[in-house]
Amino acid sequence: MYKLELNADEVRDIERLLDDVEGEFGALDTEESLKLATLHAQELPRDVRARINAFRLGELDGVLVVSGYRVDQERVGPTPGHWRERPEPSTSRREELLLLMIGSLLGDPFAWGTQQDGRLIHDVLPIAGHENEQLGSSSEALLTWHTEDAFHPLRGDFLLLGCLRNPYGAQTTVGYVDALELPESVRDVLFEPRFGIRPDESHLAKNNSDAEGKAFEDIEEMDRAPEPIAVLFGDRNAPFVRADPYFMDVAEGDDEARSALDAFAKAMDDRMFDVVLGDGDFIVIDNYRVVHGRKPFKARHDGTDRWLKRINITVDLRKSRASRPARDDRAIR
């Protein structure tokens, strides 16, 4: 993990930049705002930009934590009980803007029409009733490690989380695929398209307000008949990963693929480590090189719970153009 600890000058410069530009933005999830965020990202401190660029190019390892930014807890106010109930206008606009600017140094933010009602900026917080689900909004269940949106060919290249608060130190888990020592025979099988990944539950109709339309039909189809894909791809010696074992299957009778997947999952389980995000920490996860999850914790549901902001970043918006209704619509539908 690469830790970028902002020094006092950098924190001051970032605060000033936010002060100077915040007023130029209307709603943050418009094309206009995203364009502006890309421009203003170039005014972040030089060393911060240099490190994020090195990260983008894969020079650093696949997890970057930027810390030192301070969150005004009073301004942010109580953690909502549901992502639908987040304050409007947002009380954490500055943090959302900083998240978008960091993301803009890596690529372009995009949304899913089938997740959190198509919002660009997600709220990750414990929801009463979801305690034991395989969802970011669970708490008492282990959120098993995964590639973000592993089931989808248009999944993000990078995942960014900005931590507003985490009073009880709930642990995010992270694991590097290139740290795994796998027998050659297992590696061979993992490079073959013999694994199906079903959509995780955040994309299901029941977890969205309005679940009509083609996008949800596509999700249903991916759930019914997931396309066989390879778990490892790219360079044989430093492979990329695409996996979400909780939602994975192999063809009936393909015992070789089943045992390769089990060996892979076991090797990854053994190498996962914890990252506790603190107030004002921003974590960037390379969604091709690293898997992530979250350990169980006890939610309070009293306005003091852990609260993260989340965005997905693609390095090539054009890949999803046919799945977005308009050039300036960032949601895959």
Ligand X SMILES: O=C(O)CCC(=O)C(=O)O
CB atoms within 10 A of CB 297: 17
Considering beta carbons, is residue 106 or 161 the nearer one to ligand X? 161
CA 309 to CA 322: how far, in whole Å?
27
CB of 285 to ligand X, least distance (A): 8
Binding partner of residue 231 among ligand X, Fe ion, none, CB cut-off 5 to 8 Å per kind: none
CB of 151 to Fe ion, least distance (A): 12
Indicate the residue whose CB is closest to ligand X.
Answer: 172
- Secondary structure element (H or E) that encloses residue 123, with its range: strand 122-124
Say which amino acid occupies 72.
D
C-alpha neighbours within 13 Å on the C-beta side of residue 240: 13
User: Is 271 known as a binding-site position?
Assistant: no
Cis peptide bond upstream of 89, omega within 30: yes
Tokens of 105: 């140094």
Strand partners, 176: 290
CB of 13 to ligand X, least distance (A): 28
CB of 146 to Fe ion, least distance (A): 6
CB of 294 to Fe ion, least distance (A): 8
Question: Using an 8 Å Cβ cutoff, are 102 and 109 in contact?
Answer: no
Q: Which residues contact 184 (CB under 8 A, 6 or more apart)?
A: none
Sign of the four-CA dihedral 159, 162, 163, 164 = negative
Binding partner of residue 172 among ligand X, Fe ion, none, CB cut-off 5 to 8 Å per kind: ligand X
**Residue numbers at the binding site for ligand X (CB under 6 A):** 124, 136, 143, 148, 161, 172, 292-294, 308, 310
Binding partner of residue 310 among Fe ion, ligand X, none, CB cut-off 5 to 8 Å per kind: ligand X
Kindly indicate which of the ranges 53-61, 66-74, 141-149, 265-273 contains the residues binding Fe ion, using the contact rule CB under 5 A: 141-149
User: Is 146 known as a binding-site position?
Assistant: yes
Q: Which residues contact 310 (CB under 8 A, 6 or more apart)?
A: 121, 122, 123, 124, 136, 159, 160, 161, 162
Binding partner of residue 242 among Fe ion, ligand X, none, CB cut-off 5 to 8 Å per kind: none
User: Is 172 known as a binding-site position?
Assistant: yes
CB of 292 to ligand X, least distance (A): 6
Tokens of 4: 């970028």
Exposure class string for 170-204: b at 16+ Cβ within 10 A, else e: bbbbbbbbeebebeeebbebbbeebbbbbbbbbbb
142-161: contacts with Fe ion (CB under 5 A): 148
CB of 62 to ligand X, least distance (A): 15
Strand partners, 124: 308
Binding partner of residue 198 among ligand X, Fe ion, none, CB cut-off 5 to 8 Å per kind: none
The reply to whether 286 sits near Fe ion by the rule CB under 5 A is no
CA angle 138, 332, 201 (to 5 degrees): 25
The reply to whether 123 sits near Fe ion by the rule CB under 5 A is no
Tell me the angle at which helices 93-104 and 8-21 cross, rounded to the nearest 10 degrees. Answer: 110
- Which residues line the annotated binding site? 146, 148, 172, 292, 306, 310
Contacts to Fe ion by CB under 5 A: 148
Annotated binding site for Fe cation: which residue ranges? 146, 148, 292
Residue ranges for the binding site for 2-oxoglutarate? 172, 306, 310
